């Protein structure tokens, strides 16, 4: 009898264990299924699905309004769509925050903003509304989508103002300290008015340089031989620029020569260049009285930026955001770059390394 009871107990125990394992597997399967996104989803924000079609429509609207174009190349395109998905996630989080805070804008303000946008886009043109409608159709979006984008931006602007209103204005002492720490960035650097001719090959540039050395007029050669359609008609005039606005090699050549001198050939990302120094504006030291108000405003913007980024980071971190594999960004926990760089200042930029970095000639403009 005892042996029979022990056998029954072992069978019962085995059944219980098997049942428990099955229950655990069922729970895991249900959780796994619940965490999977719908097939058509690009991302989900707090239970709200953003489909891949929604994301494409958002990008089409940005293309129509701001000229945002998906890049060429598989790797760049992959990064583009991941960035677009992350930006959309932040946008949806902001929508929820605005609703929770009761931040709204009237339809009249949206209409006024849209009218101003269309007027600026087609300034002086006839039948602007017709052209605008055609442009939207070409981009694959609609007037309603543009109105929604404008409404969202107006709401975010109002929300930003509300969040950053508590930022304290800097005191006179804080502005004075910032001036002492940042004076090197406030000084006006030497600037030069330049003319430029750009061609495809070094041989062409050497021929142009030889013609100039033989007495040819720079403006004449620029008009007839420069490949830069934006400056050729003006005789190659680049305007007045600082060295830091130019590509490094070009900036060095342009700022090593005296007024009136020709320099080059110099290679840049645009091609081979021959330039001319037209005039030189000497550098000048910034005075506290001249820059005080602008510096105070910059300090306030930096404080507002810190408040906004901290507030938004907490909102994004507390939201339940999930991405489809092909849309998940490399760092979903971070804010997009455009948000992270808003109103960042030049804190304590007068160290020797910073000064050296500033005078190195960053590639910001291409002759």
CATH number at residue 108: 1.10.4030.10
Given a cut of 70, is residue 355 above it in pLDDT? no
pLDDT at 328 over 90: yes
Assigned token pair, 131:
């052209």
Residue 194: per-residue pLDDT:
98
50 and 110 share a domain? yes
Residues 93 and 119 in one domain: yes
Domain boundary residue, one of 281, 307, 338: 281
Minimum mean pLDDT range among 121-125, 152-156, 347-351: 347-351
| pLDDT over threshold 60, residue 102 | yes
Residues 103 and 228 in one domain: no
Distances 18 to 12, 14, 23, 151, 191 between C-alpha atoms, Å: 10, 6, 9, 57, 81
Mean pLDDT of all residues belonging to the chain: 84
> Contact, 227 vs 271, CB < 8 A?
yes
Q: Residue 49 pairs with which residues in a beta bridge? A: 44
- 257 vs 39: CA distance, rounded Å: 63
Domain end among 216, 247, 281: 281
Question: Domain end: 281, 296, 327, which one?
Answer: 281
Q: Do 367 and 256 have their domain in common?
A: no
Average pLDDT over residues 271-300: 95
Q: What is the pLDDT of residue 349?
A: 52
| Same-domain pairing of 162 and 122 | yes
User: What gap in Å lies between CA 205 and CA 272, rounded to an integer?
Assistant: 6
In three state form, how does the secondary structure of 81-144 look? HHHHHHHHHHHHHHHHHHHHHCCCCCHHHHHHHHHHHHHHHCCCCCCHHHHHHHHHHHHCCCHH
Of the candidates 117, 52, 116, the one whose C-alpha atom is nearest the C-alpha of residue 85 is 52
Cis status, amide bond into 265, omega within 30 of 0: yes
Domains: count for the chain: 3
CATH code for position 246: 3.10.50.40
161 and 53 within one domain: yes
3-state secondary structure of 74: helix
What is the span of the domain harbouring residue 28?
A: 1-36
pLDDT tens digits for range 217-246: 999 999 999 999 889 999 999 999 999 999
Report the pLDDT value the prediction gives residue 122, as an integer from 0 to 100.
79
Domain co-membership, 207 together with 308: no
Q: Are residues 177 and 306 in the same domain?
A: yes
Domain check: are 71 and 141 in the same one?
Answer: yes
């Amino acid at each position: 009898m005892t042996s029979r009871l022990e056998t029954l107990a072992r069978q019962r125990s085995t059944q219980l264990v098997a049942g428990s394992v099955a229950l655990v597997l069922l729970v895991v399967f249900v959780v796994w299924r619940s965490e999977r996104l719908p097939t058509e989803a690009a991302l989900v924000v707090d239970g709200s699905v953003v489909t891949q079609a929604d994301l494409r429509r958002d990008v089409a609207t940005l293309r129509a309004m701001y000229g945002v174009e998906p890049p060429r190349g598989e790797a760049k395109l992959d990064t583009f769509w991941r960035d677009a998905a992350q930006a959309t996630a932040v946008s949806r989080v902001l929508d929820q925050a605005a609703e929770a805070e009761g931040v709204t804008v009237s339809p009249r303000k949206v209409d006024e903003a849209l009218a101003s946008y269309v007027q600026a886009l087609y300034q002086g043109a006839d039948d602007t509304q017709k052209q605008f409608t055609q442009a939207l159709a070409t981009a694959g979006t609609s007037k309603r989508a543009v109105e929604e984008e404008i409404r969202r931006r107006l709401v975010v602007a109002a929300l930003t103002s509300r969040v950053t209103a508590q930022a304290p204005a800097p005191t006179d002492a804080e502005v004075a300290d910032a001036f002492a720490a940042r004076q090197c960035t406030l000084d006006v650097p030497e600037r030069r008015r330049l003319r430029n001719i750009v061609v495809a090959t070094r041989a062409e540039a050497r021929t142009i340089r030889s013609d100039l050395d033989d007495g040819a007029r720079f403006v004449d050669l620029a008009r007839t031989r420069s490949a830069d359609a934006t400056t050729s008609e003006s005789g190659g005039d680049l305007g007045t620029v600082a060295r830091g606005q130019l590509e490094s090699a070009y900036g060095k050549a342009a700022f090593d020569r005296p007024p009136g001198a020709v320099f080059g050939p110099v290679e840049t990302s645009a091609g081979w260049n021959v330039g001319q120094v037209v005039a030189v504006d000497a550098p000048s030291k910034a005075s506290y009285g001249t820059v005080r108000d602008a510096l105070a405003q910059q300090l306030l913007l930096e404080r507002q930026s810190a408040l906004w980024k901290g507030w938004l980071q907490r909102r994004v971190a507390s939201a339940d955001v999930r991405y489809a594999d092909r849309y998940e960004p490399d760092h979903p926990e971070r804010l997009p770059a455009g948000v992270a760089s808003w109103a960042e200042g030049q804190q304590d930029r007068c160290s020797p390394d910073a000064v050296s970095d500033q005078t190195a000639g960053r590639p910001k403009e291409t002759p």
